[in-house]
């Protein structure tokens, strides 16, 4: 049998495996809908994994508080630890709400040096503000190579796309295109608070180089090898350029 025929047969078998996998997966994608993380949910399983790996720890009572809201400073603390950021920026001193002696002073200084965060204004960081889904995704988009602020391709299939403010549209679109966020049942809930469990689950996709596609559309992985792909919607097409082929699931 020719090499071309062998390749065709291999690709056909691979497509069948992908289609079977897509029907077996029961998770709802990265859930940023505000629902609680149950003990068996993928969010909670990721929280427990991170605890075992030493990325997070419980409070003084040993509680992980997975369904609790998380502040901007707490989110930065997790990002710094998990991705190994240590260098600090002197730019922290320009923020009037971050003072030496605050528990988050070094955390914000490290986040600024890493380049994944900016203030809510030119002189305020709002470290104690509860972080929202869209703020978390702006950080995630920055962590994954930055984003074109004029490119909002990816949000058109969201049922609440019209509720996303202009300042976060491009970041949310990039997270969707790259497979780091997919919303829940077609909604992204941009202005809702994100919980500790949801934050950890979202960041874990970056840490483990896993992707999730929960909205109809064509996604181009641009030849990148990824560790894991989850598909949670019909009419998802993956473009894998190292095979120069499209896969219609």
Burial string for 32-49 (b: 16+ CB within 10 Å, else e) reads bbeeebeeebbbbebbee
> pLDDT per residue over 109-122, tens digit each?
999 999 999 999 99
3-state secondary structure of 238: strand
Give the span between the Cα atoms of 116 and 235, in whole angstroms. 33
Q: Flag whether 219 is in a domain.
A: no
Regarding pTM above 0.85, the answer is no
Q: Flag whether 6 is in a domain.
A: no
Give the span between the Cα atoms of 238 and 33, in whole angstroms. 25
- pLDDT for residue 83: 95
> pLDDT per residue over 31-80, tens digit each?
333 345 566 788 899 999 999 998 988 888 888 899 999 999 999 999 99
3-state secondary structure of 202: helix
Give the span between the Cα atoms of 96 and 127, in whole angstroms. 11
Q: Flag whether 204 is in a domain.
A: yes
In the predicted structure, residue 248 carries a pLDDT above the cut 80: no
Q: Flag whether 101 is in a domain.
A: yes
Give the pLDDT mean for 134-140: 97
Q: Flag whether 19 is in a domain.
A: no
Give the pLDDT mean for 151-173: 95
- pLDDT for residue 235: 85
The CA-based angle 115-141-217, given to 5 degrees, is 165
Q: Flag whether 249 is in a domain.
A: no
Q: Flag whether 82 is in a domain.
A: yes
Structural tokens at position 131: 């972080």
- pLDDT for residue 7: 42
Range of the domain at 98: 30-210
Give the pLDDT mean for 118-133: 96
In the predicted structure, residue 139 carries a pLDDT above the cut 60: yes
Q: Predicted confidence band at 29 (pLDDT cuts at 50, 70, 90)?
A: very low
Instruction: Give the total number of structural domains in the chain.
Output: 1
Give the pLDDT mean for 97-110: 98
Q: Flag whether 132 is in a domain.
A: yes
| Strand bridging mode 236-240 / 217-220 | parallel
């Amino acid at each position: 049998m020719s090499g071309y025929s062998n390749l065709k047969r291999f690709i056909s078998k691979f497509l069948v495996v992908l289609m079977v996998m897509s029907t077996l997966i029961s998770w709802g994608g990265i859930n940023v809908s505000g629902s609680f993380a149950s003990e068996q949910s993928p969010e909670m399983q990721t929280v427990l994994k991170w605890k075992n790996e030493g990325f997070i720890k419980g409070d003084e009572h040993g509680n992980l508080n997975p369904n609790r809201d998380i502040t901007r400073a707490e989110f930065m603390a997790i990002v710094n630890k998990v991705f190994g950021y240590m260098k600090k920026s002197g730019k922290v001193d320009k923020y009037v709400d971050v003072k030496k002696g605050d528990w988050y002073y070094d955390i914000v200084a490290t986040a600024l040096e890493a380049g994944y965060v900016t203030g809510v204004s030119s002189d305020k960081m709002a470290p104690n503000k509860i972080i929202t889904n869209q703020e978390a995704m702006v950080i995630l988009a920055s962590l994954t190579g930055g984003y074109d602020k004029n490119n909002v391709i990816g949000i058109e299939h969201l049922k609440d796309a019209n509720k996303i403010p202009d300042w976060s549209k491009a970041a949310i679109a990039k997270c969707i295109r790259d497979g780091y966020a997919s919303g829940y049942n077609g909604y992204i809930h941009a202005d809702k608070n994100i919980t500790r469990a949801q934050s950890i689950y979202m960041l874990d996709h970056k840490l483990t180089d896993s992707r999730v596609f929960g909205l109809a559309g064509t996604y181009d992985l641009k030849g990148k090898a990824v560790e894991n792909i989850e598909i949670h919607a019909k009419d998802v097409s993956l473009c894998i350029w190292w095979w120069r082929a499209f896969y219609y699931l």
